[in-house]
């Protein structure tokens, strides 16, 4: 696997999970847990991207266009690594966790964090 491909995959996977999410201005009841989960996800996906198979860069990548969550999911599915459904479930659960944390709903936040673990098979 070439270095550029590995870097693009790591960036794409991180964007897949973090895309569209914003951090809360004030810490909520499970902000620290969310931060730890995000770090675990980033590390896990980074390691998986570095160890996994590579594919040739697409025409869009060669034109220096940024990957979208959908394009990354489709590429990963072709390589047999991440199902788009599981990735989407993790993205949605992280958004729910952040929203619940901002609203001060610790139980809902913790449930969403468990949903992320389940979506990723942990």
What does the pLDDT read at residue 38? 86
Band of the pLDDT at 24, cuts 50, 70, 90? very low
Q: Which domain holds residue 16?
A: 3-119
CA atoms of 60 and 67, how far apart (whole Å): 8
31 in Cβ contact with 24 (< 8 Å) = yes
Considering its fold, how many domains does the chain have in total? 1
- Is the model more confident about 85 or about 111? 111
Cut 0.85: pTM above it: no
Read off the pLDDT band of 16 (50, 70, 90). low
Burial 25-57 (b: 16+ CB within 10 A, else e): eeebbbbebbeebbeebeeebbeebeebeeeee
Range with the poorest average pLDDT among 33-37, 56-60, 70-74, 108-112: 70-74
Residue with tokens 């990735």: 87
Q: How far is CA 26 from CA 7, 21, 23, 95, 98, in A?
A: 32, 15, 9, 16, 11
């Amino acid at each position: 696997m070439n270095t550029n491909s590995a870097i693009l995959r790591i960036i794409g996977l991180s964007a897949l999970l973090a895309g569209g999410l914003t951090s809360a201005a004030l810490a909520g009841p499970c902000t620290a847990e969310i931060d730890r989960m995000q770090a675990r996800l980033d590390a896990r996906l980074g390691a998986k991207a570095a160890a996994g198979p590579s594919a040739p860069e697409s025409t869009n990548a060669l034109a220096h266009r940024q990957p979208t969550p959908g394009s990354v999911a489709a590429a990963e599915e072709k390589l047999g690594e991440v199902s788009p459904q599981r990735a989407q479930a993790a993205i949605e659960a992280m958004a729910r966790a952040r929203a619940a944390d901002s609203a001060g709903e610790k139980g809902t936040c913790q449930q969403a964090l468990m949903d992320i673990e389940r979506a990723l098979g942990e």
